[in-house]
A and B are shown apart, each in its own frame.
Chain A
Amino acid sequence: MNTPAPRLTTSAMIASIAEEGQATRKAPFGQALADLADGRTDIVGLSADLAKYTDMHIFRDRHPDRFFQMGMAEQVLLGAAAGMAEEGLVPFASTYSVFATRRAYDFLALDIAEPNLNVNIVGALPGLTTGYGPSHQATEDIAILRGIPGLVIIDPCDAVDIEQAVPAMVAHPGPTYLRLLRGAVPVVLDEYDYTFEMGKAKLLRDGGDVLFISSGLMTMRALEAARRLEADRINVAVLHSPTIKPLDLATIATEVAKGRPVVVLENHSIVGGLTEAIASGLALRKTPVPLHSISLPDAFLDAGALPTLHDRYGLSVTKVMERVKGILA
């Protein structure tokens, strides 16, 4: 007699980075861009058949005459964005991070960055924020882009960060790349005395036992881990560095100099991301320090449900806490 196969409990469709019951806002990027464009007729939007999936649809529906659907064609997406910026428009071009970086790199580097144009590239699914496997997981996007001269790289933590980053991207005369968090995006930083400033790292909380330096969604995890570690009488400082390039090494060096164990947390491969940027930056300032890194391995990652994968690769709050206790033991 056949027994039915056990029902699988996880699904690759679980793709939210929000914790149970966490406050979220819908499509903060699309809302912020559409709001800003109400008063700025030079802002235009483009996407490569992923407007709906990069929250660009909010802009598209509010400003249909300023939205350009470029189809599944990332090279002309970025080339055309460059042409628009050459003529004084301020384009936001959205697709998934993997396609903007891996597939259209030459166009980003030569058409946009070399002439230092105000083109803003918005990449969804940065790092490990999808369970679809390596085709969709941009685990090395920062490594790819850090070598481009003059390109600002922003890794926002939450909806607050995104909403404040969008006007800063418009105001910045050169090119920017935003690691987009999309859909229902957690709201975290409103509880802190924080405003986004391009190129600045901000201390969100102080603590004498450990220093976290983090970016992106890992700042959210860092804050939650820090809060829970209070129960173990472990006091954690959290320095949020949403701008990966240019990196705020002055602030980082000041905090690092206080002598606490330093843990860098990033939603990116250990190769070429925030950890390496801090390590090389401090070494070149002749003030090298030992670093612990909570980051993704130098590997193509598994497919699966996001919570499972974050646990597997050490990005979950529980795993972060375990790691800290191990470091202090």
Chain B
Amino acid sequence: MGILSEPSQNATTDLLQLTSVSDELEAEIRQVATRIRRRVLKMGEVQGQGYVGQGLGFADALAVVYGYAARSRTGQPEWDGRDRVLLSIGHYAIALYAALAEVGYVAEDDLETYGMDDSRLPMSGMASYTPGMEISGGSLGHGLGIGVGIGLAFRTQRKDNRIFALVSDGELNEGSTWEAAAAAAHHRLGNLVAVVDMNGLQADGPTRDVLGMGPVDAKWRAFGWDVHHVDGNNIRALLEAFSALPAADSDRPTVILCDTVVGKGVPFLESRERNHFMRIDQHEWALANIALAEGSQV
């Protein structure tokens, strides 16, 4: 299969592959992404805070994962045939809940309880709280390793399910992520897909200042992974990458590196000073919803 390199060098390859994604599919997934963003804003408003910036930025990738790539049955989070979506980035829970509502694992009404005492939707993702939350996050660098174990289990059990491990570029700082990357390649886990949110931001500041990990594409490739690097806010590009995934019984793991913009979809948040924990004033929630509605009509 094709190995894409840095996005700036990909224009030709991307154009060649465009034919395989229909306009209808693209439009449908775009609507999923908009609904995810709307729910993220709703949850953020309930709490008056939250990882709204990350949720908006990663909404397109989640829309493609839940709306297109991952096998699921609406309202059946325990269905054995489902693909496993592992949220390694626990603080992205706000975005995952918004996506889980899309497959009916979480009710729309539940979203209003986000982060409240006794809610099924805690601020940081925990498996025992939320249907469809496959693992507990919070301590970074865990998801990919668990994904390796699930991948080995599926192969032992002769199942063709896939694992989508959602990780962040900040998690590439963790040695455990690379232990898992090495193990996945060594054990030839074609059923494992890492989806990396490359938003360039971590707790103490921009990733390039905190601990630059570039060139990220070359690192994954050197670890034996097939690499796609796409504009993670471009639905068509994401669909192209996910539609090119090899069969689950193939012998190389795939990583999809998604360049995303924190706050994507709400222009005044996109241009706000980039911060791990984005501050949004009370009066801004309504403005954000209006901005999102305007943008999604284009």
Q: How far, in Å, is B248 (CB) from chain A's closest CB?
A: 14
CB-CB < 8 A to A80: which residues of B? 145-146, 148-149, 152, 180, 183
The 3 closest A-B pairs by CB, nearest first: A83-B149, A79-B145, A80-B149
Interface segment, A85-93, A171-179, A241-249?
Answer: A85-93
A102-123 interface code vs B (CB 8 A; 1 in, 0 out): 0000110011001100000000
- Near A by CB (< 8 A), chain B positions 127-165 give 127-128, 134-136, 138-139, 141-142, 144-154, 156-157
Complex Cα spacing A268 to B175, Å: 30
A53 at the interface (CB under 8 A from B): no
Interface segment, A20-28, A64-72, A153-161, A204-212?
Answer: A64-72
CB-CB < 8 A to A78: which residues of B? 145
CB-CB < 8 A to B141: which residues of A? 75
**B150 touching A76, Cβ below 8 Å:** no
Complex Cα spacing A107 to B176, Å: 10
**A79 touching B149, Cβ below 8 Å:** yes
Complex Cα spacing A230 to B138, Å: 57
B186 at the interface (CB under 8 A from A): yes
Q: How far, in Å, is A81 (CB) from chain B's closest CB?
A: 6
CB-CB < 8 A to B139: which residues of A? 106, 110
Q: Does more than half of chain A's interface fall in helix, strand or loop, or is it mixed?
A: helix
CB-CB < 8 A to A65: which residues of B? 156
Q: How far, in Å, is A166 (CB) from chain B's closest CB?
A: 20
CB-CB < 8 A to B146: which residues of A? 79-80, 82-83, 86, 111
Chain B residue nearest in CB terms to A79? B145
**With A71-B182, A76-B176, A110-B139 given, is the CB distance from A88 to B149 under 8 Å?**
no
**B136 touching A73, Cβ below 8 Å:** no
**B136 touching A83, Cβ below 8 Å:** no
Please count how many residues in chain A sit with their CB below 8 Å of the partner chain's CB atoms: 28
- Near B by CB (< 8 A), chain A positions 203-230 give none
Q: Choose one: A66, A89, A110; the contact of B142 (CB below 8 Å).
A: A110
**With A68-B187, A115-B127, A115-B128 given, is the CB distance from A79 to B134 under 8 Å?**
no
Contacts A79-B142, A83-B146 given; 18 further ones with Cβ under 8 A? A73-B179, A75-B180, A76-B145, A79-B146, A79-B176, A80-B146, A83-B145, A84-B152, A84-B156, A87-B153, A88-B157, A89-B157, A110-B138, A111-B135, A111-B142, A111-B146, A115-B128, A115-B136
Q: Does more than half of chain B's interface fall in helix, strand or loop, or is it mixed?
A: helix
Question: What's the count of A-B pairs with C-beta under 8 Å?
Answer: 96
B41-70 interface code vs A (CB 8 A; 1 in, 0 out): 000000000000000000000000000000
**A73 touching B149, Cβ below 8 Å:** no
CB-CB < 8 A to A71: which residues of B? 179, 182-183, 186
Complex Cα spacing A297 to B142, Å: 35
**B182 touching A89, Cβ below 8 Å:** no
A320 at the interface (CB under 8 A from B): no
Q: Choose one: A76, A84, A85, A89; the contact of B180 (CB below 8 Å).
A: A76
A254-277 interface code vs B (CB 8 A; 1 in, 0 out): 000000000000000000000000
Q: Which of A76, A78, A115 has the most CB of B within 10 A?
A: A76
A33 at the interface (CB under 8 A from B): no
CB-CB < 8 A to A81: which residues of B? 149
**B183 touching A76, Cβ below 8 Å:** yes
Complex Cα spacing A88 to B161, Å: 15
CB-CB < 8 A to A44: which residues of B? 156
Q: Choose one: B138, B154, B182; the contact of A73 (CB below 8 Å).
A: B182
